[in-house]
């Protein structure tokens, strides 16, 4: 029975392909016309597309601008609320109008990108130089300017490797691009040209001037694809960048979001969204113009597998813990240097006193050296001699009597003490004085909260 129904109405995939075939036929019809155009005429099509969108939305955008101006002049927040609601309604109408225009130009836009790919495959492409061409030529060797002529070579660098453009969209890739433009999932195997397919809906939706996000699973693919496809988009006056190339919350990343096309990893897009929601001022945000259209590579992995792991964010620090380490490094180095000199001096004096038969004084010096740097190699070597460890333990036992009250006589000459048994390190008064030479005198002093509160109450 099921086989009979399938034969009667056809398989679901066959019916879907049948619905998409008119788009492909329309693309091929436009392709014949575009192939006869000059390079400048071909590039001029993009401006025509943009003009059609602007013309269709001009009246609505004018109404929105007037409402925003009215909001600026309205001090009563309650009176602003209905104005914001009107803007929200008009914004939806603008988006509907944009989608309507994109639907009309869809086949021709796809044909335009395919024709561009064919011309890049054939060799370099020369056009009248635009301001964007001149700007890009300063950093990209594949774009050269000769007077008023800009020439795009068909080879450039992507992810550090030299590539030569040799790809043209087949009908099956036009189908994939149409499916993606419609907001559906297109399943493609590795090697079937997913990156090339994406250029079609990306270009079409970038014409709206509201930004397009291309989400990939790792930073290598994000950087590679943005550099690989960039000349095709740049040729038509569209800007492109990758957020993974720039530091979070930087001006460069903010500028990347203002490009017509923005590549990046799902984590970076997600973290930027979280950081923006933590920001108190608009100037601290990076995703300032909202979200319009996105393509997600390996969507099953990003939206199902990776989505199981929540993105957790905390307040940013300049270099993690590195800045704290650098701040304290100088103090620690000064302490260690002074302690090493002192311990070596105490050890040398201990050796001399013990050799002279003064074991009591020598034991004190030996204990002080041990309390200063118990892992000192010269000290360990000396303690390995007969009787030295016993002398150290005997002296230590004397000074540990009465709960160690006398131990401060040993420690007061040191910069810090090391309790090896308890894994404790404690600064002495001498160590604090050494560090405090370049800091405030109360750098290591904990304030007496009770006294401070009392002083505040008395107005002192």
Residue 144 within any structural domain of the chain: no
Residue 136 within any structural domain of the chain: no
Residue 354 shares a structural domain with residue 400: yes
- Residue 10's pLDDT is 52
Sequence-distant contacts of 126-131: CB under 8 A, at least 24 apart: 126/39, 126/150, 126/151, 126/152, 127/39, 127/40, 127/43, 127/152, 127/235, 128/40, 130/237
Residue 127 within any structural domain of the chain: no
Residue 147 within any structural domain of the chain: no
What total number of domains does the chain contain?
2
Residue 272 shares a structural domain with residue 300: yes
Backbone angles phi, psi at 312, to 5 degrees: -115, 130
Residue 359 shares a structural domain with residue 240: no
Dist. CA 342–CA 32, nearest whole Å: 89
Residue 371 within any structural domain of the chain: yes
- Residue 1's pLDDT is 42
- Residue 193's pLDDT is 85
Among 316, 349, 378, residue at a domain's last position:
316
Q: Residue 73 is part of which domain span?
A: 2-122+154-316
E strand or H helix at 319, and its extent?
strand 318-321
- Residue 324's pLDDT is 67
- Residue 8's pLDDT is 42
Residue 104 within any structural domain of the chain: yes
- Domain with residue 105: its CATH number is 3.40.50.300
The pTM of this model reads: 0.66
What is the 8-class DSSP label of residue 245? G
Helical ranges in 123-158 per DSSP H: 131-137
Backbone angles phi, psi at 34, to 5 degrees: -65, -30
What is the 8-class DSSP label of residue 200? H
Residues of the chain with pLDDT under 50: 1-2, 4-9
- Residue 4's pLDDT is 39
Residue 310 shares a structural domain with residue 326: no
Dist. CA 118–CA 107, nearest whole Å: 17
Residue 419 CB coordination number (10 Å): 11
- Residue 150's pLDDT is 96
Residue 274 shares a structural domain with residue 329: no
Among 263, 296, 316, residue at a domain's last position:
316
- Residue 449's pLDDT is 74
């Amino acid at each position: 029975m099921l086989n009979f129904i399938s034969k009667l109405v056809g398989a679901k995939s066959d019916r879907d392909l049948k619905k998409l075939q008119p788009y492909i036929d329309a693309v091929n019809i436009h392709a014949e016309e575009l192939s006869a155009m000059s390079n400048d005429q071909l590039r001029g099509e993009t401006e025509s597309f943009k003009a059609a969108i602007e013309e269709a939305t001009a009246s609505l955008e004018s109404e929105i601008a007037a409402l925003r101006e009215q909001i600026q002049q309205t001090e009563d927040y309650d009176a602003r609320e209905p104005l914001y609601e009107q803007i929200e309604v008009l914004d939806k109408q603008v988006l509907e109008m944009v989608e309507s225009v994109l639907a009309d130009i869809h086949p021709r836009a796809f044909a335009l990108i395919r024709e561009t790919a064919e011309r890049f495959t054939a060799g370099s492409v020369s056009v009248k130089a635009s301001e964007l061409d001149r700007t890009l030529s300063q950093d990209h060797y594949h774009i050269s300017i000769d007077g008023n002529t800009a020439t795009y070579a068909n080879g450039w660098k992507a992810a550090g490797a030299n590539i030569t453009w040799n790809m043209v969209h087949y009908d099956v890739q036009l189908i994939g691009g149409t499916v993606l433009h419609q907001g559906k999932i297109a399943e493609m195997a590795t090697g079937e040209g997913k990156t090339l397919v994406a250029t079609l809906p990306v270009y079409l939706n970038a014409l709206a001037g509201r930004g397009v996000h291309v989400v990939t699973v790792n930073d290598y693919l994000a950087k590679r694809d943005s550099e690989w496809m960039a000349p095709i988009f740049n040729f038509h006056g569209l800007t492109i960048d990758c957020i993974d190339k720039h530091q979070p919350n930087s001006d460069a990343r903010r500028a990347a979001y203002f490009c017509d096309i923005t590549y990046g990893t799902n984590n970076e897009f997600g973290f930027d969204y979280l950081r923006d929601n933590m920001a108190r001022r608009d100037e601290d945000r990076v995703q300032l113009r909202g979200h319009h259209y996105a393509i997600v590579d390996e969507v099953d992995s990003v939206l199902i597998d990776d989505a199981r792991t929540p993105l957790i964010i905390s307040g940013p620090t300049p270099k993690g813990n590195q800045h704290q380490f650098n701040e304290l490094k100088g103090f620690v180095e000064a302490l260690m240097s002074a302690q090493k000199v002192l311990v070596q001096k105490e050890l040398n004096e201990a050796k001399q006193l013990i050799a002279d038969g003064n074991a009591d004084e020598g034991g004190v010096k030996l204990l002080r050296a041990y309390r200063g740097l118990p892992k000192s190699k010269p000290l360990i070597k000396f303690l390995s001699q007969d009787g030295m460890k016993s002398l150290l333990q005997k002296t230590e036992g004397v000074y540990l009597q009465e709960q160690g009250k006398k131990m401060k006589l040993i420690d007061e000459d040191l910069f810090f003490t090391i309790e090896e048994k308890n894994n404790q390190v404690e600064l002495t008064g001498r160590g604090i004085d050494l560090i405090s030479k370049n800091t405030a005198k109360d750098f290591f002093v904990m304030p007496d909260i009770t006294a401070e509160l009392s002083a505040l109450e008395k107005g002192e």
